[in-house]
Amino acid sequence: QVTVRDALNQALDEELERDERVFLLGEEVAQYDGAYKISRGLWKKYGDKRVIDTPIMGFTGIAVGAAMAGLRPVCEFMTFNFSMQAIDQVINSAAKTCYMSAGAIAVPIVFRGPNGASAGVAAQHSQCFAAWYGHCPGLKVVSPWSSEDAKGLLKASIRDDNPVVMLENELLYGVPFEMSEQAQSKDFIVPIGKAKIERQGTHVTLVSHSRPVGHCLEAAAVLAKEGVECEVINLRTIRPMDIETVEASVVKTNHLVTVEGGWPQFGVGAEICARIMEGSAFNYLDAPAVRVTGADVPMPYAKILEDNCIPQVKDIIFAVKKTLNI
């Protein structure tokens, strides 16, 4: 078993070793080993030129310029909520440059860090940016759940010639997952734009990303005892979205529930529902698609209120039973 933290550390280590153009920069990533210890040991191994401590936010512009000049920076936000201070660099400088230069200027950069609600960090530090960044052409957006996702997607993102936003989850960093021998090899990558079916089922399709994938699997285990078999899809990538895997599952199960930690309006679930409505899989639905999301309010600080704002296993079970009319 390997924790998500160690999987990310492995990926960074392997890619820094593989390609001398790759470097890591961000707040406290070097001498302190990273705010969440993701970059543990890398500064000692690769030195000041490859692992660089920077002040808050200015590093985003530095990283974008370095990518345009031919390097492959990995830019760590201590939390993605801070990326709002740098969203002009992420969108206007990184995402649009390749298109506006007619392909002449590639911007191979990875923006990564924890995203969404953690625990007790209140409204200004609990936002999920999947819908924000997934909205923007020119960016690729990935959202890992397991250690295998984290390692494979980070390696794929670093090797990609497009700017990639990698939305991790702070509460998953210390969680151990089984990792296959293949996943621990230096050649292992998870292709960007390909979802994974985490559990096969026949009665309802559950589609999620990041930490709520685990909640979906827990809900599926409870529902299985009542004779309801849920198919659980881990999106892995928000943009480009693997809608084909979702459509194929809906054709099989005839029911769809989306689950996410972000807000409902213009969310990832809203996009999935719209794409299913517009495609041939709509004809196979036996009931309206249902979204399970975070509450449409700024995140409260109090724990009991926070719990009521974030989708829980019981909310997913309720949504499935509502969809199946049981």
pLDDT digits (tens, 9 = 90+) for 57-70: 789 999 999 999 99
* pLDDT on residue 58: 86
> Could you say which of 164, 184, 204 is where a domain stops?
184
In a domain, 100, yes or no: yes
* pLDDT on residue 56: 79
Contact 261, 162 (CB under 8 A): no
* pLDDT on residue 57: 76
Total-model pTM? 0.97
Cα distances (Å, whole numbers) of residue 57 to 126, 152, 262, 310: 18, 27, 24, 28
Residue 145: CATH number of its domain: 3.40.50.970
Q: Provide the 8-state DSSP code for 171.
A: G
Contact 234, 228 (CB under 8 A): no
The answer to whether residues 206 and 176 belong to one domain is no
Residue 224: CATH number of its domain: 3.40.50.920
**Residues in the chain where the model's pLDDT stays below 50:** none
Q: Measured between alpha carbons, how far is 43 from 34 in angstroms, rounded to an integer?
A: 10
Cα distances (Å, whole numbers) of residue 149 to 153, 179, 185: 6, 10, 14
The parent domain of residue 73 ranges over 2-184
CA 24 to chain centroid, in Å, comes to 19
pLDDT digits (tens, 9 = 90+) for 136-180: 999 999 999 999 999 999 999 999 999 999 999 999 999 999 999
In a domain, 274, yes or no: yes
> Could you say which of 184, 219, 240 is where a domain stops?
184
